[in-house]
Amino acid sequence: MESALVPTTQTAAAAGAGNGRRAVLELHVAEMRQLFNAMDPAPFRERDLDPNAEAYIVAWGRELPAGVPLGLTVHLGREPATPEKTALLRDAVHEYFGQRALATRRQLRQLFRVGRISLVIGLAFVGGAIMLGELVAGLIKNESYGSIIRESFVIGGWVALWRPLEIFLYDWWPIRAEAKLLDRLSEMDVRVVGASTSATETP
């Protein structure tokens, strides 16, 4: 699949987003079927996108500011463009990225669930480590050694909170940003330009 991004279109759209302009990705393929996963037996409207096409579209979307509307124009080298093909591709693209957005949000909910469980376990472990450290330190006559053991237990307890803190401070927001990007891709305008026709607008 040959694909090409038009830098001037992207730059103009990003600068003029407030004026209703959008960023448009232009893909060049010989036939529309090249945009779909050949291993997926589902009908075109329900078929997954080709992994290379998907990765290219998602990577392109990540480079753009969040407020810029997105668009996709597909140029067919060997086929004419028809309203039916445009509608089919539009529905397939919207459905595919919409389902991916839902799956990403499920992943985020699962991450928060793991974070909450990890937090409860970590806090319980911290409490147990502190009590055990105090108990062991009390059995040691040497005050210096007792203090070292007590602090060691406390440090070990706080280390148990590393995973929930990582989840709630760092891990969740990239997944949320990915879901928002996929939402935008699931709503982008889709156009098809045929081998010997002018642009066919989305109905």
- State which of 6-10, 23-27, 78-82, 197-201 shows the largest mean pLDDT: 23-27
Q: What is the pLDDT of residues 142-187, one digit of tens each?
A: 777 777 787 887 888 788 889 999 999 999 999 999 999 999 999 9
More confident residue, 153 or 12: 153
Tell me: do 11 and 34 sit in the same domain.
yes
Tell me: do 16 and 49 sit in the same domain.
yes
Tell me: do 77 and 140 sit in the same domain.
no
Residue 18: pLDDT above 70? no
Tell me: do 137 and 44 sit in the same domain.
no
Tell me: do 93 and 126 sit in the same domain.
no
Tell me: do 85 and 21 sit in the same domain.
yes
Tell me: do 92 and 192 sit in the same domain.
yes
Residue 197: pLDDT above 50? no
Tell me: do 21 and 84 sit in the same domain.
yes
Q: What is the pLDDT of residues 101-131, one digit of tens each?
A: 999 999 999 999 999 999 999 999 888 888 8
Q: What's this model's pTM, rounded to 2 decimal places? A: 0.76
pLDDT of residue 42: 54
| Structural domains counted in the chain | 2
pLDDT of residue 193: 92
Domain of residue 24: give its range: 2-104+184-200
Tell me: do 126 and 66 sit in the same domain.
no
The C-alpha atoms of residue 182 and residue 188 are separated, in whole angstroms, by 10
pLDDT of residue 8: 32
Q: What is the pLDDT of residues 47-94, one digit of tens each?
A: 788 888 899 999 999 999 888 899 999 999 888 888 888 999 999 999
pLDDT of residue 20: 55
pLDDT of residue 137: 73
Tell me: do 53 and 122 sit in the same domain.
no
